[in-house]
Structure 1
Amino acid sequence: MNRDDYDHSRSARKSDYYIQDTPPKEARVLVEQHHYAKGGSNTGCYFHGLYRVADNKLVGVAWWLPPTKAACKAVNSDWKRVVGLSRLVIAPGEPRNAATILLGCSMRLIKRDARFVSLVTYADESQGHKGKIYVATNWQYAGMTRPRRRWIEPATGRQIAPKATVNRTKSEMLALGYEQTPAYPKHKFVFNLL
């Protein structure tokens, strides 16, 4: 989301929304429409939806899934108890703090479930993201990742999953019509639930 997509003229109140599990298909639609990645993985541990009380419309999604084993071990030695925020999206026109309401409630639902003890997420420097929402919800800043290039499908703007590119050379990817982005780092944030 861009700064201009939010409604700065009003603030969201928690009483304006409710958060509940949302079907993955519905979460995917919102992500494809409004998240810069234009999609996500085929799996997830949690799909928490932010719904407006006034019309029961889904206006936000927090999509959680386990990161790679190496990413988990860098966060907690009990690596099987780490879950990552893969996608956080709010529909345009919602108040800026709607994302904070969704993220805070989503984190409390995960803590209550008790399967995971550590959370990890990244703010994408290529999108101008610095992670202010994570700072606002008391995540610990854990530094920058190494810069990484991504492959994009030009027709849709969707990022191609790294595992889909692992067996192809750069020239093969270019021949298939994909475009490669410049290399950018991400800001890493960690939150311990215990």
Structure 2
Amino acid sequence: MDRMLSYHVEPVPRSLMADFVVAHHYAVRVPPHCLLPLGCFVGSDLVGVASWGYGVRPRHTIQRLFPSLGTADYYELNRLCMLDSEPRNGESHFLRLCREYIREREPGRVVLFSWADGMRGKPGYVYQADNWLYGGFIRTEFYVTAEYEVVHPRQVITRCGRRDRAFTRSVGLRRVRGRQFRYCHFLCGHGLRKRLLRESPIRWGRDYPKKDDCVWTFEGGAETRAAEGSRESRESPRFQGVGQFHDAAPLFAQAEAEDTPRQDAPGRDMEVG
């Protein structure tokens, strides 16, 4: 805890943040829509980075969460990583410092949003420790090679023009389906927060998912429960990479996710849209 008390947050060049992510994050690349790269420092030593910006469809994302908001009202956390030598709960402390930094310097930002990647065995403990609201999960999918290298569905379409079952099997790809978990944290006052929660088609709460809620299904196989991904290894439970072929290819759009209707509470077995 004494070391975390020495953390301070400053903006860093995007190139420095990207180099840190490549060296220390399992995804090994930075999404293109990074608007605010922040670094976590102990003295002059960089020990962590956070990439704040948008996903592939910024307006669509925020208005599916809170219909009255626009892109200027939120940030999405695209990457968060720290050195393995930092305390186990260092990320949640860094996350809190990022919130305080954004609230003070960008008072127009209303809410922060992020996904926890259940496909990597991550139910979102870092958000839970920082008291974020949980908004259920979506089902998503990707493909893996025989070496468990991840290939994004849209990447298959872009490169190959098709992704029907017969074709993907013929080229050695297996489809994997799993969950991603939604989280948000409000930066606004209590009145606006209450209004946004009323208007949201998602039921937000703190019935948090845990390790056993990280499940996936291999094509042609049974459901598997994830071994929790560890920060020490920076590795996913089984899968490698972030969704690209090894050789260069055009950019692809965000995967479509299958949502189900809103339910009364964000229970661990529910899926909300």
> Secondary structure in 2 aligned to 1:84?
strand
8 Å contact from structure 2 (residues 9, 40) kept in 1: yes
Superposition deviation, residue 37 in structure 1? 1.0
Mapped to 1, the partners of 2:84 and 2:175 lie a distance apart of 25
* One-letter code aligned to 2:35: C
Match of 1:48 among 31, 38, 48: 38
Q: Which runs of 5+ in 1 are unaligned?
A: 1-10
Give the structure 2 partner of residue 145 of structure 1: 138
| CA RMSD after TM alignment | 2.8
Give the structure 2 partner of residue 60 of structure 1: 48
Q: Does 1:132 align with 2:133?
A: no
> Secondary structure in 2 aligned to 1:188?
strand
Give the structure 1 partner of residue 186 of structure 2: 192
Alpha-carbon spacing, 1:165–1:27, altered in 2? closer, same or farther (3 Å): farther
Match of 1:115 among 108, 111, 115: 108
8 Å contact from structure 1 (residues 50, 61) kept in 2: yes
1:81-92 residue pairs with structure 2 within 5 A?
A: 81-92=73-84
* One-letter code aligned to 1:60: G
> Secondary structure in 2 aligned to 1:149?
strand
Superposition deviation, residue 101 in structure 1? 1.9
Alpha-carbon spacing, 1:148–1:17, altered in 2? closer, same or farther (3 Å): same
Mapped to 2, the partners of 1:178 and 1:105 lie a distance apart of 44
Match of 2:70 among 75, 79, 100: 79
Question: Which structure is larger by alpha-carbon Rg, 1 or 2?
Answer: 2
Alpha-carbon spacing, 1:146–1:52, altered in 2? closer, same or farther (3 Å): same
Alpha-carbon spacing, 1:151–1:58, altered in 2? closer, same or farther (3 Å): farther
Superposition deviation, residue 73 in structure 1? 1.0
Superposition deviation, residue 122 in structure 1? 0.9
Alpha-carbon spacing, 1:169–1:134, altered in 2? closer, same or farther (3 Å): same
Q: Quick one: percent identity of the two aligned structures?
A: 22
Mapped to 1, the partners of 2:18 and 2:103 lie a distance apart of 24
Superposition deviation, residue 98 in structure 1? 1.6
Match of 1:34 among 11, 20, 24: 24
8 Å contact from structure 2 (residues 34, 52) kept in 1: yes
Q: TM-score, normalised by structure 2?
A: 0.57
8 Å contact from structure 1 (residues 30, 91) kept in 2: no
Superposition deviation, residue 18 in structure 1? 1.6
Superposition deviation, residue 178 in structure 1? 9.4
Q: How many residues align?
A: 177
Mapped to 2, the partners of 1:63 and 1:115 lie a distance apart of 18
Q: Does 1:18 align with 2:8?
A: yes
Superposition deviation, residue 97 in structure 1? 2.1
Mapped to 2, the partners of 1:109 and 1:64 lie a distance apart of 12
Alpha-carbon spacing, 1:138–1:132, altered in 2? closer, same or farther (3 Å): same
> Secondary structure in 1 aligned to 2:78?
strand
Alpha-carbon spacing, 1:164–1:58, altered in 2? closer, same or farther (3 Å): farther
Superposition deviation, residue 146 in structure 1? 1.6
Superposition deviation, residue 192 in structure 1? 1.5
Mapped to 1, the partners of 2:8 and 2:153 lie a distance apart of 34
Superposition deviation, residue 21 in structure 1? 0.3
* One-letter code aligned to 1:64: W
Q: Which runs of 5+ in 2 are unaligned?
A: 189-273
Mapped to 2, the partners of 1:12 and 1:130 lie a distance apart of 27
Alpha-carbon spacing, 1:32–1:147, altered in 2? closer, same or farther (3 Å): same
Alpha-carbon spacing, 1:91–1:12, altered in 2? closer, same or farther (3 Å): farther
